[in-house]
Amino acid sequence: GIMKSIGASDSSISIMFFMESAIMGFLGGLSGVVIGWLGGKGFNMIINFVATKFGGETVNLFRAPMWLVLGVIGSSAIVG
């Protein structure tokens, strides 16, 4: 309403809402990837500590290829 009254066109208002949605989706996907990466690192540290304590070898269980990370962030921006 206010933007219309100051002279904004319908298309510029739509673009603004779509861009806001894409930015929020991108930031949500990025924060999800960061939290998941930190959680995976934490679990790996715990698992490796327990494994070495009982005579086992260290492992790297939580990994994600870069194409998957970029795909998740990109798709969250599109869906958002």
Confidence of residue 28 (pLDDT cuts 50, 70, 90): very high
Residue 25 · residue 80 · CB < 8 Å: yes
Q: What is the pLDDT of residues 34-77, one digit of tens each?
A: 999 899 999 999 999 999 999 888 888 888 889 998 999 899 98
**Predicted local confidence at residue 38, as pLDDT:** 93
Q: Which residue has the tokens 């327990």?
A: 50
pTM of the model: 0.72
Q: How far is Cα 75 from Cα 28, in angstroms, rounded to an integer?
A: 11
Domains of the chain, by residue range, sit at 2-79
**Predicted local confidence at residue 46, as pLDDT:** 93
**Predicted local confidence at residue 48, as pLDDT:** 92
Instruction: Decide: helix, strand or coil at residue 55.
Output: coil
